[in-house]
Amino acid sequence: MYGCVLLVAALMGYRSFIGATDVGLPDLTWPGVAVLLAGSAIAAATVRPWGGRVLSRALSVGAWGVAVLALVGSCMVLLNLIQLVLTGTVTDRQGDSDWVSFAERLCLAVLGVLFVATALSHARRTAGVCPRCGRAHPPQESDRWYPTPHAAPSVVRRIAYVGGCAWLPYLILHALGAAGVPGIEPNGFRPTWYMLLAGVCGIGLAVFLLLGLVRPWGMVFPRWTLGLAGRRVPRFLPLTPVWVVAPTLAVYGTASGILAGAGLLGDDLFGIGGAASLAFGGYGWALAIAAVSYQLRTRPLCVSTGTAAP
């Protein structure tokens, strides 16, 4: 449906798919049409009998490819959502209304999630394992057992700690700017202490979310959560905000750091711009890695009805 809508729009002269031309990229409208329409055929082939005539590996590669492209195309949707909450509108870099690109990014985010689910389901079915849990077991087993709370592997925990610490240079430079140190903030801007406090609270929540993905209390509500203590944390509760936040921050931080290092942005790589790139990129990648670990650790196991949990 999305591919057909974009095809009609392209034939009517529409350009600047997901605002690509606004950020210096070539027009992606026709490539977007091709990817979306090819993706629809790939998705159908994974569940229809005629798809059995297509090489299974080719279908997996195609489904994952569409998923990655869709998620990359939607990566800036977080910034649009933040702007929408703070200002009530969405604009492009020139300050013009940009609702169309915002809607396109939202659609791509949904498509990315759907294609990830499609690719996983197809890979598990072709491997002869359970589509729900990804493990091999007799078909009569239907109950689900959730793993006991445990921490992520030490490597993942260290990555999470480094990702949380990546915010420190960014906070320190903003604190110096709030204290009146010249040359820190661009264009003579001086943040207030209230702004700094709000930033610290926001970053604190972000680090809390990151730590919850790698510590046991992220799987079962701890004792200090009154009324919920001891209950299993629904997987969607931490993973939904994570996969909304992580792609945007990872891509934005990495791309801005590379462009600043190449001298294409005008921001000093060793100033507030470089600190922002380090904070957003470091935290975004750490969040994505921790989220993958969390998904694997909390994946439920299918067990026989009435059988004791392992």
Q: For the chain, give the mean pLDDT.
A: 85
Task: Report d(CA 186, CA 174) in Å as an integer.
Answer: 11
**Is the confidence at residue 286, as pLDDT, over 60?**
yes
Q: Which of 265-269, 273-277, 279-283, 298-302 has the lowest mean pLDDT?
A: 265-269
**Is the confidence at residue 132, as pLDDT, over 90?**
no
User: Measured at the alpha carbon of residue 119, what is the angle toward residues 115 and 125, in degrees to the nearest 5?
Assistant: 140
Given this model, what pLDDT does residue 211 score? Answer: 95
User: Measured at the alpha carbon of residue 51, what is the angle toward residues 50 and 57, in degrees to the nearest 5?
Assistant: 155
Q: Is the pLDDT higher at 140 or at 149? A: 149
**Is the confidence at residue 196, as pLDDT, over 60?**
yes
Helices 154-165, 272-298: axis angle to 10 degrees equals 150
Given this model, what pLDDT does residue 147 score? Answer: 87
Q: Which of 155-164, 167-176, 241-250, 258-267 has the lowest mean pLDDT?
A: 258-267
Q: Is the pLDDT higher at 302 or at 29? A: 29
CB 267: neighbour CB atoms within 10 A? Answer: 20
**Is the confidence at residue 66, as pLDDT, over 90?**
yes
How confident is the model over 114-120, as a mean pLDDT? 90
Given this model, what pLDDT does residue 23 score? Answer: 61
